[in-house]
C-alpha cells in the first residue's frame, strides 16, 4: 500500500513541476513582450533542467521563446555574435523537437529566424573585416556555415578570413574540413546591372537574370566563370602545416588532392609552391614543366608560374612567364604590373651605390654612369606602366608610380598630362 502512495506522490511532483514550467514560459513571454529580453532568459534558465521532461509542445514553446529572447538582445547589439549563435541554437533544437513529434507549430518561424540570423552574421562579419577585426569576422562566418552546411562558401570565406587575421590555429580545421568536402567553389556567376542602384546584382541562374533584363529592371547581362579555389585552399593548408613543422603532412595533402582532382592545374602550382617553400628546386622545376605541358596557353597559369619564379628570386624565368602571359592575353594587367615591379628592383642596388659615393673626380664619374643606368631602368618600365595605367585607369598606385618615373626622367609634359587625368 505504501508503494502506491509513493507512486502517487511522484506523479504529483511531476505534475507540479510541469505547471511551474508552463508558468515560467508564460512569464518569460510576458517579460519579452515588455522589452525585457534579459529577464526572459533569466526566467527560462531556471526552467532549463526540467525542459527535457516536458511535453513536446512545451519544449518547442520553451525553445521558441528562448530563441526570440536571444535574437532580441542581438538586435539591440548586446553581445551580438554570442546572442545570435545562442538564438540559432535554440531555434535548431525547436525544429528538432517538432520534427520528432510530427507536430509543427513554430518550425516555419524558427527557420525564417535562422535565415535572418545567418544574414546578420555574414553582414556583421563583413563589417568586422572592414574594421580590421578579421578574427571576429572569421568566427561569425564559420557560425553562419554551421547554420547551413549546404552553403559551403561561408566555410571557405571563414578560412580565408582567419588566414588574413594570421589566426592559423582557427584556419587549419576549416581548411581540413574544406579538403574533406573536396570543395572547389568552381561555378558560373550570372550578373546584370540594376538600373535603380547602378550596382551589379547576382542571380541564381541565367533564366532569372534574363527575366530581370526583360522586365526592364536590369541591363548589361554578364556571365563569368568562377575558377576553382582548390589551389588556394590546398596552398594555405600546406603552408600552415609547414609552419607547424608538419611538412610531410602538407606534401601528402596536396598529393591526395591531385589524385582526386587530376585535371585541376591550380593544384600543380600549389604543389610547386610547396616544394619551393621547402627549397626542393628540382621538384619545383619538374612541376612547373608539368603545368606548362597541361595548359601552355592558359594565361593565368603562365602568370602564376611567373609569380612563383619571382618568389624564388629567379627573375629571368619570371620575366619570361610574364611576357608569355602578355603574348597569350595582351590585356593582362597584372602581368604588366609585375613586369614593371620586376624591372624596378634593379634600381635599389644602383641607389645604394650612388649613396656611398663621395665627391672625388672618380666618384663623380661613377655617379654619372650609375645615373644613366637608373634612367635606363626607368625608361624600360614606362611601356609596362603606361599599358597597365591604360587598362586600369582607376588604380592610383600604378598612376603614382608612373608619375614618379616621369618626374625622375624630367618628362614634364608627360607628368603634367598624367596628373590631369588623376585629378578627374
Q: What is the CATH number of the domain that holds 76?
A: 1.25.40
The total number of structural domains that make up the chain: 2
* Residue where a domain terminates, one of 199, 226, 253: 226
Give a yes or no: residue 172 inside a domain: yes
**Could you tell me if 229 and 269 are in contact, meaning their C-beta atoms sit under 8 angstroms apart?**
no
Each residue's pLDDT tens digit, 139-191: 999 989 988 888 899 999 999 999 999 999 999 999 999 989 989 888 888 99
| Residue 401 included in any domain | no
- Please check whether residues 202 and 89 belong to one and the same domain: no
Nearest to 270 by CA among 321, 226, 308, 300: 308
Tell me how far CA of residue 218 lies from CA of 222, 224, 349, in angstroms: 11, 17, 54
Kindly state the helix (H) or strand (E) to which residue 194 belongs, with its residue range. Answer: strand 187-194
Q: Say if residue 52 is in the same domain as residue 160.
A: yes
Measured distance CA(198)–CA(194) in Å, rounded: 5
Q: In this structure, is residue 69 part of a structural domain?
A: yes
Asked whether residue 221 is domain-assigned, the answer is: yes
Residue at 145 is within a domain: yes
Confidence check: pLDDT of 291 > 70? yes
Residues 169 and 124 in one domain: yes
In terms of residue numbers, what domain contains 218? 187-226
In a domain, 232, yes or no: no
Q: How many CB atoms lie within 10 A of CB 390?
A: 12
Residue 44 sits in the same domain as residue 143: yes
Q: Are residues 63 and 174 in the same domain?
A: yes
Residues 66 and 172 in one domain: yes
What's the pLDDT tens digit per position in 26-59?
A: 777 788 887 888 888 887 776 676 666 677 777 8
Pairing of strands 200-203, 218-226: unpaired
pLDDT band at residue 377 using 50, 70 and 90 as cut-offs: confident
Both 25 and 110 in one domain: the answer is yes
Question: Is 112 a domain residue?
Answer: yes
- 366 falls within a domain: no
Kindly state whether residues 56 and 82 are assigned to the same domain: yes
Query: E-strand spans in 249-364?
Result: none
Residues 169 and 192 in one domain: no
Confidence class for position 12, pLDDT limits 50, 70, 90: very low
Indicate if 163 and 69 belong to the same structural domain. Answer: yes
Q: CB of 254 within 8 A of CB of 276?
A: no
Amino acid at each position: 500500500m505504501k508503494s502506491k502512495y509513493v507512486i502517487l506522490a511522484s506523479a504529483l511532483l511531476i505534475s507540479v513541476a510541469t505547471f511551474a514550467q508552463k508558468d515560467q514560459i508564460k512569464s518569460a513571454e510576458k517579460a519579452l513582450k515588455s522589452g525585457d529580453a534579459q529577464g526572459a532568459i533569466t526566467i527560462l534558465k531556471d526552467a532549463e533542467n526540467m525542459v527535457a521532461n516536458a511535453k513536446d509542445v512545451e519544449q518547442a514553446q520553451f525553445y521558441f521563446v528562448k530563441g526570440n529572447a536571444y535574437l532580441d538582445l542581438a538586435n539591440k547589439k548586446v553581445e551580438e555574435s554570442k546572442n545570435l549563435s545562442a538564438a540559432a541554437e535554440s531555434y535548431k533544437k525547436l525544429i528538432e523537437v517538432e520534427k520528432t513529434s510530427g507536430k509543427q507549430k513554430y518550425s516555419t518561424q524558427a527557420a525564417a529566424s535562422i535565415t535572418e540570423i545567418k544574414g546578420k552574421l555574414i553582414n556583421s562579419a563583413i563589417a568586422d573585416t572592414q574594421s580590421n577585426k578579421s578574427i571576429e569576422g572569421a568566427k561569425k562566418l564559420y557560425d553562419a556555415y554551421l547554420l547551413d552546411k549546404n552553403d559551403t562558401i561561408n566555410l571557405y570565406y571563414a578560412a580565408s578570413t582567419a588566414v588574413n587575421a594570421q589566426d592559423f590555429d582557427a584556419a587549419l580545421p576549416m581548411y581540413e574540413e574544406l579538403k574533406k568536402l573536396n570543395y572547389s567553389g568552381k561555378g558560373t556567376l550570372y550578373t546584370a546591372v540594376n538600373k535603380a542602384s547602378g550596382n551589379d546584382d547576382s542571380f541564381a541562374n541565367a533564366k532569372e537574370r534574363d527575366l530581370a533584363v526583360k522586365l526592364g529592371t536590369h541591363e548589361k547581362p554578364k556571365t563569368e566563370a568562377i575558377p576553382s579555389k582548390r589551389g588556394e585552399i590546398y596552398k594555405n593548408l600546406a603552408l600552415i602545416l609547414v609552419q607547424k613543422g608538419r611538412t610531410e603532412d602538407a606534401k601528402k595533402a596536396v598529393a591526395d588532392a591531385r589524385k582526386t582532382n587530376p585535371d585541376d592545374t591550380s593544384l600543380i602550382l600549389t604543389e610547386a609552391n610547396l616544394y619551393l617553400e621547402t627549397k626542393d628546386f628540382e621538384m619545383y622545376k619538374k612541376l612547373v614543366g608539368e603545368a606548362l605541358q597541361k595548359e601552355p596557353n592558359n594565361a593565368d597559369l603562365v602568370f602564376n608560374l611567373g609569380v612563383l619564379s619571382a618568389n624564388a628570386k629567379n627573375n629571368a624565368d619570371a620575366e619570361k612567364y610574364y611576357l608569355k602571359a602578355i603574348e597569350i592575353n595582351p590585356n593582362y594587367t597584372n602581368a604588366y604590373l609585375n613586369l614593371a615591379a620586376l624591372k624596378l628592383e634593379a634600381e635599389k642596388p644602383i641607389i645604394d651605390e650612388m649613396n656611398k659615393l663621395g665627391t672625388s673626380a672618380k666618384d663623380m664619374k661613377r655617379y654619372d654612369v650609375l645615373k644613366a643606368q637608373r634612367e635606363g631602368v626607368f625608361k624600360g618600365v614606362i611601356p609596362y606602366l603606361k599599358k597597365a595605367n591604360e587598362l586600369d585607369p582607376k588604380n592610383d598606385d600604378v598612376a603614382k608610380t608612373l608619375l614618379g618615373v616621369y618626374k625622375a626622367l624630367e618628362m614634364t609634359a608627360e607628368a603634367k598630362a598624367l596628373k590631369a587625368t588623376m585629378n578627374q
